[in-house]
Structure 1
Amino acid sequence: MSLAQRPTSVRELFRLSDRISFLYVERGVVNREANAITVATPKGVVHVPSAAIGCLLIGPGTSVTHQAMSLMAQSGMTSVWVGEAAVRYYAHGAPLTRSSRLVEAQAHLVSRPKDRLRVAREMYLRRFPGEAVGGLSMEQLRGREGARVRAAYKSESERTGVPWRRRQYNPEDFATGDAVNQALSAANHCLYGIVHTVIVSLACSPALGFVHNGTERAFVFDIADLYKTEMTVPVAFEVAAMANEDTELDIPAATRRLFRDRQHSGGLLGRCTRDVKELLLGPDEAASEPMGDVVMLWDERGASVAGGVNYDEVYEVPW
C-alpha cells in the first residue's frame, strides 16, 4: 500500500445509520490488508470491511497496528478501548463527521437551564411516550423514571421466571454479581459502546449531558437510557434464564451475542443517530446533513461567515 494513498472523503463513506453496530475483539491482532481490517486470533483470520462497521471494541490482550488505526480513522470506524467482557471504557478514537454544528447546539442547550430541562423532558418522553411532563422538574422526572424502571424489571422477571431483587454490582469485581446483574452490566456496556460511537461520530461531546452530569460520559449515559428498558433489560433477563439452565454459560459472551442480534433487528444505530440529532437540532433541522470540511468564522451579529478569506481585502479596515 502506498503511504500517499488518498484518504476516503466523508461523502464516500457509509452513513453511520447504515453500518453494523460493533465488533468486539479480545486477545487478537488487528491489522490492515488493503481497505479491510483483519483480526487474527488462534482460530484464524477474519477480514472486516472497515467502512461497514460503526465501532470496534478493543478488549484485553489485543494489539492494533498503526496501519489498522489509520484505516479506521479514514473510514470513520470508531475505536473504543474497553476492559474484559467489554464492561469498562478507557478511550475512543476520532469522529466521522467534520462539522461542529451538533456540538455547538449541544453546548448552547446544556448551558441554558430552561433549554436543558426541555431536552431532559423530551428524553423522558422518548423512553415513556404518552405521559404529561410539561411542568415537571428534574426531581419529579427522576421519581417517575425510577418507578417506570422498577416496573420494567418486575415485568421481565415475571416474563422470564428469573427472580429479581435489586440492581447490585461491584465495578471492581464483575463475577460477584448474580446472573441477571452480570448480564445487565455486560449488555449496558455494549450499549454504552454503541452510543459512544454515535456521539463521537457525530462530533458531539460525550461529557455534556442533560440528565447526567460530572462525568466524561454524561451524554452517553443520557442517550443510552433511552433504550435500556426496551433492549438491555429484556436481554439480561433472557440470558439469566439461559444461565439457570446451563451453569457453564459464558454470561458476558452470551449477552453480547444476544444484544448484538436484538439491537440489529431494532435498528439501534439509525435510531440513536436520529435521536441525537433531533434532541439537539429539532426534527426539521435534524433531517438535513451536517456540513463537512467547511470552516466558518464566528460573527457577533449571529451568522457565521466563510473562512479562508482575507477580510482585509473584503472590508476597509481602519488601522
Structure 2
Amino acid sequence: MEQLTDLKAILHSKRANIYYLEKCRVMQKDGRVLYLTEARHENQYWNIPIANTTCLLLGTGTSITQAAMRMLAQAGVLVGFCGGGGTPLLMANEIEWLTPQSEYRPTEYLQGWMQFWFDDHKRLQAARQFQHARIRFLRQVWRKDRDLKAEGFDSTHSDIEQALNLFEQKIHSARKVGDLLQTEAQLTKQLYKFAARHTGYGEFTRERDAVDNANTFLNHGNYLAYGLAATALWVLGIPHGFAVMHGKTRRGALVFDIADLIKDALILPWAFICAKENMSEQEFRQQCLQAFTDHKALEYMFDETKNVALTTEWQESKS
C-alpha cells in the first residue's frame, strides 16, 4: 500500500499517458498493472506506468481483473470501454468513465461552480469565459508550433485571424447559450474548411459515422480529449452533468465543454495532417499524445476549469 501512495506523487495535470488497448488482458502482477498479449508461440507482458497515466481505453477483445481495477483506482486512473480504434465509448460509469472512488477530492471547485450554475445569466458568462480560453489556446498553439505552421496552421494567417476575431465579437454579443453553440459550430466549420484546403485533403464534410481518415481521426482524437477532460473534472471534484455550453439534459456534457478548450487547436489540424500522410490510427494517437504533452493540454484544462469555478468578478453581473 505504501508503494501505491508514493505513485500518487505525480500530479494529474503533469501526467503524460493515455492508453488504448485491444485484444489483451489487463491484470495485476507483482504489485504492477500489466497487459498480456497472446502471441502464436508465447505470451508477452507489458507494464502500464499507472502513476503517469490519466486514463485507459479498453477496446475490442479486452478484459480486466478486479485486482488491476483496484490498483488503477488507487492511482487515480480513469477507465472506459470503447469500440475498435478508440470509438465509440460503449460502457462506463459517471457518464463517460469508470472513475476511482475517493472521498478526499477537493470541494471548493464544486462549491464555486454551484454559486453560478443555477443562474442562466451567470452560466452564460462562464460559457463565454470558456470560449475565450478556447480561442486563446488555439492562437497560442498555432503561433508557436513549428510543425503545425509548416503545414499552414498559423494563427496569424489572415483567414484564421479574421475568423477568430469575428468569433470573439460574437461571444460578446451572444445573449443565450444557444447563440454561442451556433457561433461555435460556424467557426469549427470554417476551421475544417481551412484544414482541408491547406492539407490538400479535398472536399470534406464532418460526419461522425463516415469512414474516411479525417473523420475517423477526428472521432478518435476527440475521445482522447474527452479522457483528459474527464480526468480534470474528476480530480477537481466537479460532476460531469453541470455543463455550461452543452445541454443540461446531456449527462456528460461538461466533459465536452472542457474538451473543447483544446480540440480545435490540437486534434483538428493533426487529424487532417495525419490523414494526408496516410498514417495509422496508432501513429495518429501517438501524435496527439505528444501534442498534448508539448502544449500542456491537460494543465490548461485544469487551470481554466479552476478559473471558472473560482472567479467572482463576473458572478455578480447579469449582463
Q: Does 1:114 align with 2:124?
A: no
Q: CA deviation at 1:143?
A: 3.6
Q: CA deviation at 1:11?
A: 9.7
Which residue among 88, 110, 118 is the counterpart of 1:103?
110
| Partner residue, 1:123 | 130
Which residue among 249, 255, 267 is the counterpart of 1:232?
267
Q: CA deviation at 1:118?
A: 0.5
Query: If you compute each CA radius of gyration, which structure gives the higher value, 1 or 2?
Result: 1
| Partner residue, 2:140 | none
| Partner residue, 2:85 | 85
C-alpha change, 1:147 and 1:40, in structure 2 (3 Å) is: same
Alignment of 1:219-258 (within 5 A): 219-243=254-278, 250=280, 252-258=281-287
Residues 18 and 270, structure 1, Cα contact 8 Å, conserved in 2: yes
Q: Does 1:273 align with 2:302?
A: yes
Q: Does 1:41 align with 2:37?
A: yes
Q: CA RMSD in A?
A: 2.4
Quick one: distance in 1 between partners of 2:266 and 2:293?
11
In structure 2, stretches of 5+ residues that fail to align are 93-97, 137-164, 314-319
How many residue pairs get aligned? The number is 269
Alignment of 1:188-227 (within 5 A): 188-213=222-247, 214-227=249-262
Query: What SS class does the counterpart of residue 80 from structure 2 fall into?
Result: strand
Query: What SS class does the counterpart of residue 48 from structure 2 fall into?
Result: strand
| Partner residue, 1:168 | 207
Quick one: distance in 1 between partners of 2:196 and 2:304?
29
Residues 214 and 272, structure 2, Cα contact 8 Å, conserved in 1: yes
C-alpha change, 1:184 and 1:73, in structure 2 (3 Å) is: same
Q: CA deviation at 1:201?
A: 2.7
Task: Report which of the two has the higher share of helix.
Answer: 2
Q: Does 1:140 align with 2:179?
A: yes
Residues 21 and 194, structure 1, Cα contact 8 Å, conserved in 2: no
Q: CA deviation at 1:205?
A: 0.9
Quick one: distance in 1 between partners of 2:312 and 2:3?
32
Q: CA deviation at 1:271?
A: 1.3
Quick one: distance in 1 between partners of 2:267 and 2:203?
15
Amino acid across the alignment from 2:100: A
C-alpha change, 1:83 and 1:202, in structure 2 (3 Å) is: farther
Quick one: distance in 2 between partners of 1:163 and 1:216?
36
Amino acid across the alignment from 2:192: Y
Please, what TM-score do these two structures have when normalized by structure 2?
0.77
Identity level (%): 23
Amino acid across the alignment from 1:162: Y
| Partner residue, 1:21 | 17
| Partner residue, 1:155 | 194
Quick one: distance in 2 between partners of 1:158 and 1:165?
9
Please, what TM-score do these two structures have when normalized by structure 1?
0.77
Amino acid across the alignment from 2:82: V
Residues 127 and 226, structure 1, Cα contact 8 Å, conserved in 2: yes
Residues 105 and 235, structure 2, Cα contact 8 Å, conserved in 1: no
C-alpha change, 1:161 and 1:11, in structure 2 (3 Å) is: closer
Q: CA deviation at 1:120?
A: 0.6
Q: CA deviation at 1:99?
A: 2.3
Q: Does 1:187 align with 2:221?
A: yes
Amino acid across the alignment from 1:101: E
Residues 7 and 74, structure 1, Cα contact 8 Å, conserved in 2: no
Q: CA deviation at 1:202?
A: 2.3
Quick one: distance in 2 between partners of 1:257 and 1:242?
14
Q: CA deviation at 1:125?
A: 0.7
Q: CA deviation at 1:7?
A: 8.2
| Partner residue, 1:295 | none
Residues 85 and 220, structure 2, Cα contact 8 Å, conserved in 1: yes
Quick one: distance in 1 between partners of 2:203 and 2:283?
20
